[in-house]
Structure 1
Amino acid sequence: MNDNKAAIVGSLKATYSVHTQPGADPGGNTKDNQDAWCVQERLGGQEMVLFGVFDGHGQEGKVVSHTICQNLPKIMARMVGSKPAPSIESALSTAFPEANASLRKRPGLDADLSGSTGIVALLQQGRLVAANLGDSRCVLGKVDGHGAVTAVALSSDHTPMEAKEAERIIATGGRIASFMCGDEPLGPPRVWLREVNIPGLCMTRSFGDYVAASVGVIDQPQLMAATLKPEDKYVVLMSDGIFEFLDSQQVMEEVHAAAKAGQSPSEAAKRLVRLARKCWQEQEDDIIDDCTAMVIYLSTAHGGSGAGGSSTTAAALAARLENNLRIGSAPGSGSLTLGYKRAA
């Protein structure tokens, strides 16, 4: 997605864009991008926007991330459009497991050892609710009166390094251990079956991953919410390829620098991907993870202007409900359109 879109939610204007780039294998060859993203404006006919980033892993990781990317917005739209509608928190808590269950209905998909993270942010009037599975992130950027930006986490990484997450895995019959190189542990702790060295998953919550699910890897998202204030200027959703060597504060400072230089969310997202890939090349030589950054600038809406600055009435927005879901992956790797707008 190389352009910038804008959505109006009450008095807020959210201008957003996404940049994603596939990683490279140990030989330096470009991999198939397993990251996916989606944006659903006017979710369920309501004045809210759903943003999502999904990072697949395993042999079928791309299929898993893209299937969730297709199905989750539809499930959420049905829920928030129902009468009476559940709370956003309740809808998200129900939608994630339902989307996960939809994987079993996809013919030919073997998700025993494949899965995906999921980070979703739902923007309402004056409020942002984030739901997370795995180790993708949502970060809010606050700018103070001196022009300094501060990153505020709206998600928590679900890994075996988190004590409560590890306790659940062990209590369910799993095992936590790093890869072993001789007698020495190598890399981060992972989730294994108690008696068998599979699956070796680095996260404790995910979509798919049916083998890991048998030992406590769950599909229940963790929710965080923020009441938005005038100093809240940015939101970034990202796969872990972005923050493997950058912390969330560094990410937000890069976005803030782009905005201060008059650059758009599209340019800011590209800056993040370039910086992250540079770090990978410096730290890991040929190996680079898939990198996806969704950047949202928050501002005050004036006169109800919609995407591209044109006037958008409620009736016009409603008329666009069948054409406002944008779903994408890496440029050139086959964007998913599903009869909607082309996204990349």
Structure 2
Amino acid sequence: MLSGLMNLLRACFLPRSDRHVHTSSENGGRQDGLLWYKDSGQHFNGEFSMAVVQANNLLEDQSQLESGCLSFHESGPYGTFVGVYDGHGGPETSRYINDHLFQHLKRFTSEQQGMSADVIGKAYQATEDGFLSLVTKQWPMKPQIAAVGSCCLVGVICNGTLYVANLGDSRAVLGRAVKATGEVLAIQLSAEHNVCIESVRREMQSLHPDDSQIVVLKHKISRSIGDVYLKKAEFNREPLYPKFRLREPFRKPILSADPSISMHELQPHDQFVIFASDGLWEHLSNQEAVNIVQNHPRSGSAKRLVKTALQEAAKKREMRYSDLKKIDRGVRRHFHDDITVIVVFLDSNLMSRASSAKGPNLSIRGGGVNFPPNILAPCATPTEPGGT
């Protein structure tokens, strides 16, 4: 059966000569086939490593690292912003977040003259409101945009504090050294909103006591940016495709855009934080990921995590990693999801600087295989609603 499937997929493979191999990108990353990576860079509080592997026909994961001034005032505060946006149903929402969320954060930081959980929450809400306005404008011509959404994981390091905000099932994991044993423990910092988790199912049921089917939806997450058709009843109708629409009308929004936000005062024994979309965590546990980062050189950490996840994905399908790498985007989604990883190392000497201390501004976005507008990538496969 597997050999037959592989024969079918070979029709969608690109010749090696057509692949993008180690070409430089505008923001300093490198492209190797469907893998984009930046092995090492410097942010306000230490070093970082980024990697993205594309599985979907169009890359639905978007990501960014912004370091330097976190407001529109030159006085700061200064720090590091990390964003991982795992889109579903298409790339529109995750791209919108990538273009707008950090700018909203800078605006609210300027207005409130400092970083806070309230600033981050307002930035999320402004991004949600902006995307709703976009959907409203585009609905008559492009109704399917109402069924596009994105998870949204953000980390902000400012003045020795790490803020973590999350919608959906991406995850932030801290690597913390234990002096007594020398080991590095994995500590999950983000709360996930996945209906596979019992507490999330209970939350959904308590919010919708009259709907016995609330957790039987295809949509596996309970919070997101976008997914307007599950938040505003007026978008749950024609001309949206029937496969997206709910049969029963709803009076309350089914999904929420209210992020879970936590604050962590960073300590000298806090070594690094792994921010990643669920494509990584489907194949690696928190501790396995932390061990991989801890036991190897810092440079290339994110790429190493992605490669290990792909090796696990290949093993689950009883195929070789080398064969998996030959499968092109679109078809590749049958084997694994888009995967985004950003590893942020924490330098305690740099962390002790005041947030008003100026540093160079850095802005970098995770890359992918890009095509000219209006050219369809081969072997397009439709994305199921809610598949993150």
* 2: CA distance, partners of 1:149 / 1:303: 19
* 2: CA distance, partners of 1:334 / 1:296: 30
> Does the 8 Å contact 1:141/1:232 carry over to 2?
yes
- How far did 1:152 drift? 0.6
Deviates more, 1:104-113 or 1:291-300: 104-113
TM-score (norm 2): 0.67
1:169 maps to which of 204, 208, 212: 204
- How far did 1:326 drift? 2.4
* 1: CA distance, partners of 2:191 / 2:350: 34
- How far did 1:217 drift? 1.1
1:153 aligns with 2:182: no
- How far did 1:167 drift? 3.6
Partner of 2:168: 134
Q: Which structure features the higher share of strand residues? A: 1
Q: Structure 1 residues 174 and 252, CA, compared in 2 at 3 Å: closer, same or farther?
A: farther
Q: For 1:280, give the aligned amino acid.
A: A
> Does the 8 Å contact 2:128/2:257 carry over to 1?
yes
Percent identity at matched positions?
A: 24
Q: Structure 1 residues 136 and 334, CA, compared in 2 at 3 Å: closer, same or farther?
A: farther
What secondary structure does 2:336 align onto? coil
> Does the 8 Å contact 1:166/1:176 carry over to 2?
no
- How far did 1:92 drift? 1.3
Q: What residue ranges of structure 1 are gaps of 5+ in the alignment?
A: 25-30, 178-189, 193-199, 306-312, 336-344
Partner of 2:370: 333
Partner of 1:6: 42
What secondary structure does 1:220 align onto? coil
What secondary structure does 1:333 align onto? coil
1:268 aligns with 2:304: no
Task: Report Cα offsets for 1:162-193 as digits up to 9, x if no partner.
Answer: 3443244333355557xxxxxxxxxxxx553x
* 2: CA distance, partners of 1:303 / 1:210: 39
Task: Report Cα offsets for 1:82-120 as digits up to 9, x if no partner.
Answer: 2x4365111112211211111123353644222100110
- How far did 1:147 drift? 2.5
What secondary structure does 1:132 align onto? strand
Matches within 5 A, 1:308-319: 317=360
Count of paired positions: 285
Q: What residue ranges of structure 2 are gaps of 5+ in the alignment?
A: 1-28, 30-37, 232-251, 319-333, 373-388
Partner of 2:70: 43
> Does the 8 Å contact 2:108/2:122 carry over to 1?
no
1:85 aligns with 2:117: no
1:207 aligns with 2:245: no
2:128 maps to which of 92, 100, 115: 100
- CA RMSD in angstroms comes to 2.7
1:69 aligns with 2:98: yes
Task: Report Cα offsets for 1:110-161 as digits up to 9, x if no partner.
Answer: 4422210011000012211100000000111001223311011111221113
1:218 aligns with 2:245: no
> Does the 8 Å contact 1:35/1:329 carry over to 2?
no
Partner of 1:28: none
* 2: CA distance, partners of 1:34 / 1:148: 35
Q: For 2:172, give the aligned amino acid.
A: C
> Does the 8 Å contact 1:191/1:204 carry over to 2?
no
> Does the 8 Å contact 2:159/2:351 carry over to 1?
no
Higher relative contact order (CA 8 A, sep 6+): 2
Q: For 1:85, give the aligned amino acid.
A: Q
